[in-house]
């Protein structure tokens, strides 16, 4: 299916790909691609790409403990504030709030295991 191929291309590019290029690769017009992608996934291609890119950045920041500077530039963000905007848009919280949340979960898991 063409949309599944498009999803694969977006994931391989870590969300950093022009959606017009993806549409061409799966042999759809921009409008057809937008419509079919939204119908199949519930997201526009651009939204999906943003989620994929942000997911990778989260993993690198909080689970692989990379620094902000590296994560920002390796994942196609213009600067740190661009990454922070995605935090607020997608998680509705700051990176610091998210880190506290992750640490709290980790603490609760360690407490229940011990």
Give mean pLDDT in consecutive 10-residue pieces for the chain, a chain of 114 residues. 96 95 97 97 96 94 88 91 92 89 72 58
**Quick one: pLDDT at residue 64?**
87
Give the other-Cβ count within 10 Å of 31's Cβ.
Answer: 9
Contact 27/2 with Cβ under 8 angstroms?
Answer: yes
Whole-number pLDDT of residue 112: 61
Structure tokens belonging to residue 113: 């295991």
Question: Rounded to whole angstroms, how far apart are CA atoms 109 and 68?
Answer: 26
How high is the pLDDT of residue 25?
A: 96
Residue 84: both structure tokens together: 């922070």
What pLDDT is recorded for position 89? 92
> Are the CB atoms for 13 and 20 separated by under 8 Å?
no
Task: Provide the whole-model pTM.
Answer: 0.82
């Amino acid at each position: 299916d063409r949309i599944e191929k498009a999803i694969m291309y977006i994931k391989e590019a870590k969300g950093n790909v022009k959606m017009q290029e993806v549409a061409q690769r799966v042999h759809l017009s921009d409008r057809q691609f937008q419509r079919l992608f939204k119908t199949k996934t519930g997201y526009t291609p651009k939204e999906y790409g943003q989620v994929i890119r942000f997911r990778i950045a989260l993993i690198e920041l909080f689970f692989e403990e990379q620094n902000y500077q590296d994560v920002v530039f390796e994942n196609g963000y213009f600067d740190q504030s661009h990454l922070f905007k995605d935090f607020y848009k997608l998680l509705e919280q700051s990176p610091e709030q998210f880190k506290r949340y992750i640490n709290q979960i980790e603490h609760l898991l360690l407490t229940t295991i011990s």
